Amino acid sequence: MSVLNNKKILNASKLSLILNRLASQLFEKHDDFSDVVLIGLQPRGTILSKKLKKLIQKNYSINNVDIGFLDVTFFRDDFGRGDKILHANKTAIDFIVEDKTVILIDDVLYTGRSIRAALSAIQSFGRPRKVELLTLIDRRFSRHLPIQPDYCGIQVDSINNQRLTVKWSEFDGEDAVYIFKKDGKKT
């Protein structure tokens, strides 16, 4: 899906369809979620993970979905490098991931560095049986590390001077995805 000439690439209706499809794929693969946990990456993956949990509960009557939120700031390979200031968020995981399938959830998969950091950070909570990755958007031509999603909302072909922003109604007033130039101007 090429999006180079658009400013809004997903509206609320399309975003809803994608979220329902992702929830359906998770249910099809994991059935009752008895050995599965959802871990949203702070900050934006938490919103996506909450929405998916809500859809799984509503659409499939699964009420035992464990959900946690993981901050990877101190596990990043760019922590403390250069002038970039990283702000930590709160990790909230009140369960052990030992022998569970962990589904890491983030809104945009870009370079893969946040996911690499999450793989290191999750070890603090036990040794998962398996780790899967769910992303709303896969910027597949921007990867620095060999990381691919198991579940993907859409793939977006963008160039490096562009930025994708996922907006959620709870925080941003709308459900939408925009593409911008890095200087802040919409393309």
Which residues of the chain carry a pLDDT beneath 50?
Answer: 1-5, 184, 186-187
Cα 60 to its chain centre, rounded Å, is 21
- Domain covering 8-28+35-76+88-181 in this structure, CATH number: 3.40.50.2020
Domain extent listing, the chain: 8-28+35-76+88-181
Q: Which helix (H) or strand (E) holds 69?
A: strand 66-70
Average pLDDT over the chain reads 88
Residue 42 CA to residue 176 CA, distance in Å, equals: 19
- 14-39 pLDDT, tens digit each: 999 999 999 999 999 999 999 999 99
114, 27, 50, 166 alpha-carbon torsion, rounded to 10°: 60
Residues 78-103: tens digit of each pLDDT: 555 555 556 667 889 999 999 999 99
Cβ-contact 155, 1 below 8 angstroms: yes
